[in-house]
């Protein structure tokens, strides 16, 4: 069989690429992107429902961001902020401090990735509280450095073979309402998960030795799952009653993704410390840890410096990104288009019993695919759906094997979104008619 240009490049790359660096889905080589559309090496176009893993909320190569990058690159590409300040980073720090959902004096520290920003939460929490333990949640993805992988719990392959991980990390079950049996009330569900949360503290974990509880208020890679409000209120109170920092990870869900600037604003709570990354610089490597000033004052220089973190080009891109989010009202747009998407998938759910829970928080959705008889996750059907969508020119991947991940750039047009809905309609009807089959690499697809 004649190979297309994508496959030829992948064959050559596969001879040298380390397997742990790519999660397999489709034979796609991204050649270019504009807004919500990607073009591959053969010139085929796709509407992008992944947004580079929620890292391009402003869309691919937004002209304002491109212009800012080019202008800054002509001035200076890099001088390490670890030694000397630069103007775009200083401006961005002030903007982020104002935007952060934390009242009172706030400080900002730079990183290159969501992962190292979450490492910074561990460092600051331990330094500030002088306590060792960190509590995190099952289903969490906080990153791939040793610190952030240690507080994550979303894939066995992420902890397999690489231990020992960071000590003094305790994981508790994330309250995933999509797992609530129909005959259980939400209150009972919250009580049940709250009991599970308290168990470590009642049996082996001295509460006065816990530095921070870190949570994604809405889990991203865990399946786009929103913790119940009552659970979050209890968690916040528990943390503050015991001198524990309430830390949140906004790397995936921040910056308008959920229809609000920050996902924690769905709960009316303020974190003590938080992280932001991914979309902050429209995909250039930049992250930040933001927290109450007294917490970020607890570490001495150079405990959290990186040569390129807060680099002039990435921070210029981030200032331009914030301009675009503000000027194009992307937060409001996310909320509005998310409602359209929820309506569309709800209608499809009425037609097809293989569609389970549908949940959108802004333009940010999880659609579960289940076995119609058992109502259990159906990863084969999920793989058939995402592969067919790929053939039809839509990039959509799965989370946890059976959740369709719907996170397009927030600049996606309504016309492009309608095109996506049409492709889903066709795909769902083909699945129902038994016309879809698994792609050859199905057993390797996904996390």
Ligand X SMILES: Cc1ncc(COP(=O)(O)O)c(C=O)c1O
Binding site for ligand X (CB under 6 A): 53, 113-115, 118, 141-144, 216, 220-221, 249, 251-252, 277-278
Nearer to ligand X, 223 or 439 (CB): 223
**What angle (nearest 5°) sits at the alpha carbon of residue 39, between those of residues 437 and 23?**
55
Contact between 223 and 190 under an 8 Å Cβ cutoff? The reply is no
Kindly state the helix (H) or strand (E) to which residue 266 belongs, with its residue range: none
Nearer to ligand X, 112 or 379 (CB): 112
Q: Report d(CA 357, CA 147) in Å as an integer.
A: 33
For residue 211, the Cα-to-chain-centroid distance in whole angstroms is: 24
Nearer to ligand X, 382 or 407 (CB): 407
Strand order in the sheet with 37-40: 30-34, 37-40, 45-48, 394-395
Instruction: Report the nearest approach of ligand X to the CB of residue 272 (Å).
Output: 17
Q: Which tokens in the block code for residue 113?
A: 């990735």
Give the residue at shortest CB distance from ligand X. 114
Instruction: Report the nearest approach of ligand X to the CB of residue 259 (Å).
Output: 17
Nearer to ligand X, 210 or 251 (CB): 251
Instruction: Report the nearest approach of ligand X to the CB of residue 86 (Å).
Output: 22
Instruction: Report the nearest approach of ligand X to the CB of residue 53 (Å).
Output: 5
Instruction: Report the nearest approach of ligand X to the CB of residue 220 (Å).
Output: 4
Nearer to ligand X, 249 or 270 (CB): 249
Q: What is the dihedral of CA 125, 237, 100, 287, to 10 degrees?
A: 40
Nearer to ligand X, 307 or 429 (CB): 307
Instruction: Report the nearest approach of ligand X to the CB of residue 194 (Å).
Output: 23
Q: Report d(CA 364, CA 172) in Å as an integer.
A: 25
Q: Report d(CA 130, CA 123) in Å as an integer.
A: 10
Q: Report d(CA 372, CA 65) in Å as an integer.
A: 45
Three-class SS of residue 126?
helix
């Amino acid at each position: 069989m004649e190979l297309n240009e994508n496959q030829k490049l992948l064959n050559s790359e596969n001879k040298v690429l380390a397997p742990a660096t790519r999660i397999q889905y489709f034979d796609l080589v991204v050649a270019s992107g504009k807004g919500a559309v990607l073009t591959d090496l053969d010139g085929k176009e796709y509407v992008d429902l992944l947004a580079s893993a929620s890292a391009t909320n402003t869309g691919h190569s937004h002209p304002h961001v491109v212009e800012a990058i080019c202008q800054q690159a002509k001035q200076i590409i890099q001088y390490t902020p670890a030694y000397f300040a630069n103007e775009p980073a200083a401006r961005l720090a002030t903007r982020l401090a104002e935007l952060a959902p934390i009242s009172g004096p706030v400080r900002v520290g730079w990183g290159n990735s969501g992962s190292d920003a979450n490492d910074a939460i561990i460092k600051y929490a331990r330094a500030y509280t002088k306590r060792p333990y960190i509590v995190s949640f099952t289903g969490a993805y906080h990153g791939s450095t040793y610190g952030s992988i240690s507080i994550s719990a979303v894939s066995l392959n992420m902890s397999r073979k690489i231990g020992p991980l960071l000590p003094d990390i305790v994981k508790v079950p994330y309250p995933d309402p999509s797992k609530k049996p129909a005959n259980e009330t939400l209150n009972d569900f919250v009580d049940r998960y709250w009991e599970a949360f308290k168990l470590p503290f009642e049996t082996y974990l001295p509460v006065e030795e816990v530095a921070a509880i870190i949570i994604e208020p809405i889990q991203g890679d865990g399946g786009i799952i929103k913790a119940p409000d009552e659970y979050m209120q209890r968690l916040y109170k528990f943390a503050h009653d015991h001198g524990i920092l309430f830390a949140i990870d906004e790397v995936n869900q921040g910056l308008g993704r959920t229809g609000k600037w920050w996902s924690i604003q769905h709960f009316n709570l303020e974190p003590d410390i938080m992280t932001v990354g991914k979309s902050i610089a429209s995909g250039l490597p930049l992250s930040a840890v933001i927290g109450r000033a007294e917490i970020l004052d607890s570490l001495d220089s150079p405990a959290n410096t990186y040569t390129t973190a807060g680099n002039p080009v990435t921070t210029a891109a981030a200032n331009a990104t914030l301009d675009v989010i503000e000027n194009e009202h992307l937060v409001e747009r996310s909320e509005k288009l998310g409602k359209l998407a929820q309506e569309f998938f709800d209608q499809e759910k009425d037609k097809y019993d293989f569609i389970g829970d549908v949940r959108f928080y802004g333009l940010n959705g999880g659609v579960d695919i289940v076995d119609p008889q058992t109502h259990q996750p159906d990863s084969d059907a999920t793989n058939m759906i995402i592969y067919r969508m790929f053939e039809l020119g839509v990039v959509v991947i799965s989370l946890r094997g059976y959740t369709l991940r719907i996170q397009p750039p927030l600049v996606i047009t309504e016309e492009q979104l309608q095109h996506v809905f049409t492709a889903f309609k066709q795909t769902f009807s083909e699945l129902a008619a038994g016309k879809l089959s698994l792609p050859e690499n199905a057993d390797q697809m996904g996390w």
